[in-house]
Amino acid sequence: MSDKPHHLLLVEDDAELSGMMKDFLTGKGYQVTIEADGLSAIRRIASEAYDAVILDIGLPGTDGFSVCKSVRPHFKGPIIVLTARGEEMDEVVALEAGADDFMSKPVRPNALLARLKIHLRRFDLHPADSSVQPADIVVGDLSISLGSRSVVVGDQPIELTTAEFDLIEYLARRAGSVVSRKELYVDLLEIPYDGMDRSLDLRVSRLRRKLGDDPHKPTRIKSVRGVGYLFAK
């Protein structure tokens, strides 16, 4: 892997806050570009190369939800959404728009750094020698290519975010076995389990829809009441 620092786009219209966040992240070895306007952020992401985007919701020009939804089809890196409103619906909308993670303000710098490292590490998993590719995972008509981080159901490619790909890979590797919510939470998010946090449930729900799984009677990703999830063989 290159020693070149990861380049982050920080989209935040509070100049004092964005300055402090940039100083903190720069001090941790990242290259940080600040953008304060939603429409300008869309243009930047389309024309410049960033490894990850940290995106506030309340922006001039257009809000963070619209930015995320607009860039997600072509931007494959992690998008971490920040909001000061602390409403559960914001998290739902952010995930629906294609965000990989969601954090409420005031954001603790070290917590943000930890989430950022997790997402970037997973996104950087491609081997340096492109001739050596990990084996695919095949479960029924679903095929997961680990080298290209892509998913196909039948002959239909499925567009997934980084977090959604990590989730389906994790479940598919354990197809036929029940995975507890706690196990899924700790292994994927790499933070202590919070039984009140519904972020993984929301990701499972969104993943089901993308896979064409009936949300009321799912046959591919099944809920096991009081325990967790089962990826059916």
Predicted confidence (pLDDT) per residue in 40-68, tens digit: 999 999 999 999 999 999 999 999 999 99
Give the Cα separation of 141 and 155 in Å (integer). Answer: 9
Task: Specify if 201 maps to a domain.
Answer: yes
**Other beta carbons less than 10 A from residue 2's beta carbon:** 7
Region of residue 149 (left: phi > 0; alpha: psi -120 to 50; beta: else)? left
pLDDT (0 to 100) of residue 67: 97
Q: Which tokens in the block code for residue 208?
A: 């089901």
pLDDT tens string 125-178: 643 344 445 568 999 899 998 877 889 998 899 988 888 888 999 999 999 999
Average pLDDT, rounded, for the chain: 87
Domain count of the fold of the chain: 2
pTM score, two decimals?
0.71
* Same domain for 178 and 118: no
Tell me the residue type at 113.
L
Q: Read off the CATH number of the domain in which 62 is found.
A: 3.40.50.2300
Q: List the domain range (segments joined by +) for residue 82.
A: 7-123
**What whole-number percentage of the chain has pLDDT above 90?**
52
Average pLDDT estimate for 203-219: 89
The CATH number covering residue 175 comes to 1.10.10.10
Instruction: List C-alpha distances in Å: 224 to 20, 108, 173, 200, 232.
Output: 44, 34, 17, 14, 12
% the chain with pLDDT above 70: 92
Residues 113 and 13 in one domain: yes
| Same domain, residue pair 114 and 160 | no
pLDDT for the residue 125: 61
pLDDT at 86: 62
pLDDT digits (tens, 9 = 90+) for 13-35: 999 999 999 999 999 999 999 99
